[in-house]
Structure 1
């Protein structure tokens, strides 16, 4: 009998067009281009919020700094850090056993 491991965030941030989420699988140039398009004058997003967890925090910081450098002084960055509770659930492949849940903390950044 085996188990399948699933990772879950314990809470979700509101889904808005101005929220941009980064992971280690995120293509840096594509996300930079996406953020630049959101910040074009006249677009419906006067501001964006970049979110990232764990190892991907470096990507989020680099994107924010790139946006600030190309914004010619029109962008103002505010960074907040937090700790997010993640849940790892191991689901049994059979019906006879209960799923095992393990929670852990992970660093997060919101720019």
Structure 2
């Protein structure tokens, strides 16, 4: 099985396009509550929360498929379970890498002389 980067990139772009309306709605809510707001900070927070929720959903779906296969559900194949498991694993690894980069950037900023 080969994974093409073009397909992954287009899938990430479509996920981002789905998130933008949600982020805009949250921005409008926060601006109406506060009267003002930092849009960049809000967008990053929404995007980060959405990414973590997406990783969690992939993990939960993979676990559910695994349980259904173990219980003998004929509508679930081993291939579906393995694909879902690998998607969840890749998403988790990507999340860990993003977290590591954020922590590294934070440490660099904190070590800057003022």
TM-score by length of 2: 0.30
Higher relative contact order (CA 8 A, sep 6+): 1
Q: TM-score, normalised by structure 1?
A: 0.30
- Asked which structure has the greater CA Rg, the reply is 2
Higher strand fraction: Structure 1 or Structure 2? 1
